[in-house]
Amino acid sequence: MPDRKTALVISAHAADFVWRCGGAIALHQKQGYEVTVVCLSYGERGESANLWKEPGMSLEKVKTARRSEAERAAEALNVHDIQFMDLGDYPLHVDAEAKDRLVDTLRRVRPEFMLSHSKYDPYNTDHMYATQIAMEVRMIAQAWGHKPGEQVLGAPQLYLFEPHQTEQMDWVPNVFLDITEVWENKRAAIECMEGQHHLWAYYTNVAENRANHFRRNSGGQAGGRPAKYAEGFQAIYPRCVDRL
């Protein structure tokens, strides 16, 4: 349908989309978008410490638990479609076949915008690798010579969502999104991630801090919107506008 509105999230691990852009997902779903989330891995080795502390835990059990958490979180956010590529983590590796699958997904979804990680992350190279892949498959999906005869992708904006230690990541937000009206959805999704309970309060605090920045940049005491929760993003590509 020509008026179909879509967005695509490329998440390195199965929980990343919840912490970093769960509000954007829920808000756009509420606005009529179909948001697809692709989890490149479950984060089974490096981001499941609490699960590994349980007696008798195995790699497959961790994967199963992480998938269940992510599916319940996606339901809380009203995600249109969530896909799990199960490519492994620590380190994440996306081979040529997996890249082709991602390109196929981009051309099928035809997102108005994409979301992924910061371009630099010295603490978790899976994150910045996922964004490298996001930019690469966006480029390939635009190429007329890739699977000639298919409709090529346009030029969706790529927004980089907030990393865990922003000061170390060369990530500078230039977009703030008010997620107050869907905060309860995001908080419910956060609470699905039982394997990373230590991050619940942290990302609640991040949302409150970004709301302060939203209020300040939308007019502050001179009439800014009284946002209570927000998310920050860094836009990568130029915006083409008819007015400023």
What Cα–Cα distance (Å) separates residue 97 from each residue in 82, 90, 188? 19, 20, 35
Q: How much is the pLDDT for 212? A: 96
Give the model confidence (pLDDT) of 113-159 as tens digits.
999 999 999 999 999 999 999 999 999 999 999 999 999 999 999 99
| Residue 210, both tokens | 């970004």
Hunting for tokens 């899976």 — which residue is that? 126
Three-state secondary structure call for residue 43: coil
Give the model confidence (pLDDT) of 188-240 as tens digits.
999 999 878 889 999 999 999 999 999 999 998 878 889 999 999 999 999 99
Q: How much is the pLDDT for 2? A: 55
49-65 mean pLDDT: 93
Distance CA(13)–CA(130), nearest Å, equals 9
| pLDDT of residue 3 exceeding 80 | no
